[in-house]
Amino acid sequence: MDYQSNDILGYRIKEARTARGYSLEELAKKIGLSRQSLSKYENEEMKIPGETLIHIADILEFPIGFFRKIKKNDGIGDSPVFFRSLRKAGTKVKDSLGQNVEFLEEIYSYFTQYIDFPKLDIDSDINSNYKIGISDLYIEEVTLKLREQWGLGERPINNLVDLLQRKGIVIARIELDTHNVDAFSNVTAKGIPFMILGSDKQSAVRSRMDCAHELGHIILHSHLTKQEVKENHNIIEEEAKKFASAFLLPENSFSNDLYSVNLDSFIYLKEKWKVSIAGMIVRAHNLKLITDDQYTYLFKRISAKKWRIKEPLDDVLKFEEPALLKEAINLLFDNSMLDNERLLEDLALSRKDIESLCCLEKGFLGEDEVKPLLRIIK
């Protein structure tokens, strides 16, 4: 395989490094370079030797084609990425996970030449009166407007992930490899929302709440700047939390269902509403359906029963798996419009990244082959 060193795109080296969680200094040390040299390669101030590129590609587990692939979208740009547990996650973790959103956007953009995906179905004026620090009543009204627009009434949502995909939100579920981030989302400059959920969470209902939380960011906060998000982090996180609770548990219907203030009744409601017992108790307290004393008592009982980590039904209720991109690949493969080789060549991402972001079974795209030797063209 031949390549010209001037074909290599410096920003792709940086993206691959960022995606794998390496700082400039860490990767430079690992490949035996100075930090300054690696920085010059990334900024295209100096041509990268073929042997060095091969070494980088091997360490970061990216195909050589990735470093030559011109980006056809703008990536995240200036739009904020919203993280659950942002304060607990370091900059490298956030940057690495944010890069996954950009890869997901590239994959989605690639498939749009073949597939007519669902268009975004969110009224542009649904949040037109938003200001940072908006009232709880405003948030309640927005969730009801959204439910009305989507024809949900005030009934429980059977499959939230499937619903959001049908409404034009692109979702992936991957292993986040960190307890400091549960989910994250971003709305691109083209107005397409992308959401990534963690697959390493132990509870389907808690992951569902993460999904609703990110939906809250998409609805309420996607128009904010990165600086506004950073400066008002605690406020917007609280708003997204309240949105998620109100969207999944509408006041009138949930209130009518709360017939008894004991843990057994909340177990029954968990099966119906697919929200954690703890989450429903918090919602009931916020709606003043239970007193402060009842709230405290119920959480003491939860602690005594060791339900803080694992609640009843957590091993019964199933995770909601994204299927949009997986179904797109199956459709294209079944109709002989694409095959493994063409897909891998066009996307120029590693097999494991494509399988993960498209929610494919491990090995679906085959096993990694022995890397061919590259001949350097002087």
pLDDT at residue 83, as a whole number: 86
pLDDT at residue 91, as a whole number: 81
pLDDT at residue 376, as a whole number: 39
Give which of 197, 186, 217, 213 is closest to 78, Cα–Cα. 186
Q: How many residues does the chain have?
A: 378
Cα 148 from chain centroid (whole Å): 25
Residue 72: pLDDT band with limits 50, 70, 90:
confident
pLDDT at residue 374 is higher than 50: no
pLDDT at residue 189, as a whole number: 81
Give percent above pLDDT 90 in the chain.
81
AA identity, residue 370: V
AA identity, residue 377: I
Cα 45 from chain centroid (whole Å): 34
Give which of 59, 12, 10, 50 is closest to 31, Cα–Cα. 59
Distance (Å, whole) CA 246 – CA 265? 20
- Contact criterion met (CB below 8 Å) for 218 and 185: yes
Distance (Å, whole) CA 275 – CA 267? 10
pLDDT at residue 176, as a whole number: 81
- Contact criterion met (CB below 8 Å) for 338 and 329: yes
pLDDT at residue 9 is higher than 80: yes
The pLDDT tens digits for 85-131 are 655 667 888 888 889 899 999 999 999 999 999 999 999 899 999 99
- Contact criterion met (CB below 8 Å) for 245 and 310: no
The pLDDT tens digits for 246-299 are 999 999 999 999 989 999 999 999 999 999 999 999 999 999 999 999 999 999
32-36, 70-74, 353-357: lowest mean pLDDT where?
A: 70-74
- What's the token pair of residue 270? 């968990």
Q: Token match 């090995």: residue?
A: 363
Question: What is the value of pTM for the model shown?
Answer: 0.91
As to burial, measured by CB atoms within 10 angstroms (0-12 exposed, 13-18 middle, 19+ buried), residue 332 is: middle
- Contact criterion met (CB below 8 Å) for 149 and 123: yes
Give which of 80, 78, 75 is closest to 217, Cα–Cα. 80
Give the torsion sign (CA, 150, 328, 81, 71): negative
3-state helix, strand, coil split of the chain in percent (to 5) is 50, 5, 40
Running DSSP on this structure, what letter comes out for residue 197? E
Running DSSP on this structure, what letter comes out for residue 357? H
Residue with more model confidence, 362 or 75 = 362
- What's the token pair of residue 192? 């397409």
CA end-to-end distance (rounded Å), the chain: 14
Give the torsion sign (CA, 98, 100, 103, 107): negative
* Integer angstrom CA distances of residue 33 from 27, 39, 62, 307: 8, 10, 19, 50
